[in-house]
Structure 1
Amino acid sequence: MVFTFRELKTATKSFAESRLLGGGGFSTVYQGKLPDGRIVAVKKLNQGNKQGIQQFQNEVNILSQVRHPNLVQLLGYCLEGRDLLLVYEFVLNGTLADHLHGEKGNGLSLETRITIALETAQALAYLHFYVKPPIYHRDVKTSNILLDKDFKAKVADFGLSRLTHLDATHISTAPQGTPGYLDPDYHESYQLTDKSDVYSFGVVLLELISRKKAVDMTRDKKEINLASMALARIHSGALHELFDPDLSVKYWKLLTRLVEVAFRCLAAEKDDRPSMVEVVRELEQLSSMTISASSSKKSSRFKLEHQSSGELRKQRSVASTNMEEDSPTSVQVKWPSTHTSPSNSRSEIYN
């Protein structure tokens, strides 16, 4: 749908500061209300910026070709003179980054975190394997994962995304993306592949597990990047120190499995990383385990509420010891795994 500049100016009350949702170097996003009552997000790209024009074209070209419940929906655009605006569905609960690191960071249950991871993985698998030609997002990060009122994930911001050819194994292009999430193989080879998105998704998984930022300049020099920090914890046998302390000790075994998936995604060689279809299968299994664990926790709530603080400290100590025994000495060591190989069935990714 094509909107006029006047319509969008009215919808956002002349792009009032009170309607401001966020922004970056190339655009600003406002909340708007259309004449039919729909609440929308209006992205206003900065005028005279060549990269902004490219991002506008990218978003329109790509989002007009795709439709998936876990991709943000493009409702229309405005192209009048130098005014470039994109109109999206409004996603109520902000970004995943807001909930993990920002003002909305009041905690997400492990079940919710794994569901968000699974839905994000399904969206990326759809882009890589079901869209023809395939699409590489190129900027997967927690601030580009939106959450609706039910905390359903919506992958957004396709400004850097690239369409590839059906028979191509990669796209040769200058590296672009966000520090902390950028695939080091892509950075060195200038070859963008679906495995570049897989690497970025691995960093997102680490954020969900730890509630730590992908890049944090306040951390030790060798641990500024979350991926480097996680590797250091593995080498020191202290993997449990990565886990968000707000998550129950009862989930540590499950969190270890989730870290396993993350580190497969973060393999230094892109060919050693799983596809997003494989990641979906792994997360489906973990999601089922989480539901079972939640049910078990509810049934034993009375017992937990009556444990002494000393008993709880002892339980954490035992769990920490077990975690050290289960952790590999490096990411090259094969992780113990009891799950089966991913199924070839892909139908769930559409739903």
Structure 2
Amino acid sequence: MLTLTEKPRRSPKNEQLNSCASSFADYEDCIVGFMDDLQLVHCGHDKKCLGCGEELAHLTLRGVLRGSVGVIGESRLAMTEKVVLLGGRVCAVKRFRQVSSGRREFGKKIEHLARVSQKCEYLVPVAAYLYAKRIKQHGHTALDWNQRLTIIVQIARGIGFIHEQYPPYEKKMQMNVHGNIKVCNVMVNTDFSACLSGYGFTQLAEPVEVLNTGQLMKSPCRQQENTTYSDELSQKSDIYNFGVILLDILAGPKGLEMTKGVKEKKASMKLEGGLEFFEFYVKEGKERRQVSKVLEIALACISTKPDARPSIEEICFNIVEIL
């Protein structure tokens, strides 16, 4: 995990930035002053890359900086970049815009987050590059209900793992809160298993407003920030954001906007199988009951009163009941 300063902007008089692809050679100024190359500290995982199983013993800062990079996603917090090293190894780099702690403290926080993340299969390990897509990249119409339900269950289990962390405060961090649950942080593998990324990252850096110009602003993560999420660092805020994700899975990007009509016509929707709200065909019988129950959970999660929102334990129990 690296934090790099913002890349110097190119002058319009010289050349335009027409692609998200570039080289980390642009950051060579970041390592001027080091007599020797810096060995990167790996956060457990038996010193192997979880993505390819290769040894990480020889991974250095200069090697990463000289790799070929392409932007995967962007937010006010950071940019996520896919880096292909000279030997062909693939890594993921999170480049925070404004780190909120010193280098030593930041390193300790990252190592601690890595140790926690690797204990749960529903969280993206800090040291892994996963060949997965964000849920938005799959296109909702391509997913049937069983695939959507699998994603929902695994997201809930990931949140449940985080919320039961004890002690809740460690390394000057609140460990029992994710802090940035959004659709763009849900990673879906080829078998439609899902896991959450970005755990704890809001406590590592400060969000920065970025002008909406250039190719980089078109990333899915950046666009998703236009959706109403709660920025409060609390478990109830995590639950609210989970509810927003549920509505997105059920009804698409405008699911949250449509909830007023859902509440007003809730009874009729159950009778009609929810066809005027859900963006996919709902079969009669068990599937209709499952979809209706998940919708009820979503509506409870986005309650304007935090105390009225269910705990993740209640949510997981109710979801298991309908499987």
TM superposition score normalised by structure 2: 0.61
* Percent of residue pairs bearing the same amino acid type: 21
CA pair 64-112 structure 1, distance change in 2 beyond 3 A: same
Structure 2 runs not aligned, ≥5 long: 1-39, 42-58, 169-174, 208-223
Give the C-alpha shift of residue 274 in structure 1: 1.4
Give the C-alpha shift of residue 195 in structure 1: 1.4
In structure 2, the partner of 1:152 is: 193
User: Which digits, 9 at most, give the CA deviation of each residue in 1:69-111, with x for residues without a partner?
Assistant: 0111012xxxxxxxxxxxxx222231112224xxxx5511211
Give the C-alpha shift of residue 141 in structure 1: 1.2
Distance 1:23 1:52 in 2: 21
CA contact (8 A) 1:145 1:156 kept: yes
In structure 1, the partner of 2:64 is: 8
CA pair 242-136 structure 1, distance change in 2 beyond 3 A: same
Amino acid at match of 2:259: A
Amino acid at match of 1:44: R
Q: Are 1:43 and 2:88 counterparts?
A: no
1:182 to 219, 222, 229: 229
In structure 1, the partner of 2:165 is: 130
Q: Are 1:252 and 2:288 counterparts?
A: yes
In structure 2, the partner of 1:93 is: 132
Distance 1:90 1:127 in 2: 21
User: Which digits, 9 at most, give the CA deviation of each residue in 1:174-201, with x for residues without a partner?
Assistant: 9xx95544349x5xxxxx4311111110
Distance 1:9 1:22 in 2: 18
In structure 2, the partner of 1:274 is: 310
Q: Are 1:117 and 2:152 counterparts?
A: yes
Q: Secondary structure at the match of 2:304?
A: coil
In structure 2, the partner of 1:349 is: none
CA RMSD for the aligned pairs?
3.5
2:260 to 231, 237, 252: 231
CA contact (8 A) 1:198 1:274 kept: yes
Please say which of residues 52-61 and 243-252 is displaced more in the overlay.
52-61
More helix by share: 1
In structure 2, the partner of 1:27 is: 78
Q: Secondary structure at the match of 2:293?
A: helix
Distance 1:23 1:203 in 2: 20
Kindly indicate whether structure 1 or structure 2 has the higher relative contact order, using CA contacts under 8 Å at least 6 residues apart: 2
CA pair 178-25 structure 1, distance change in 2 beyond 3 A: closer
CA contact (8 A) 1:135 1:162 kept: no
Give the C-alpha shift of residue 142 in structure 1: 0.9
Structure 1 runs not aligned, ≥5 long: 76-88, 164-173, 187-191, 217-225, 289-351
CA pair 106-272 structure 1, distance change in 2 beyond 3 A: closer
Q: Secondary structure at the match of 1:227?
A: coil
Amino acid at match of 1:129: E
Distance 2:86 2:189 in 1: 22
Distance 1:34 1:207 in 2: 36
Amino acid at match of 1:96: I
Distance 2:117 2:80 in 1: 22
Q: Are 1:202 and 2:243 counterparts?
A: yes
In structure 1, the partner of 2:142 is: 107
Distance 1:256 1:52 in 2: 45
Give the C-alpha shift of residue 156 in structure 1: 0.6
Distance 1:96 1:235 in 2: 29
CA contact (8 A) 2:177 2:200 kept: no
Q: Secondary structure at the match of 1:279?
A: helix
> What is the number of residues matched between the two proteins?
234
CA pair 38-69 structure 1, distance change in 2 beyond 3 A: farther
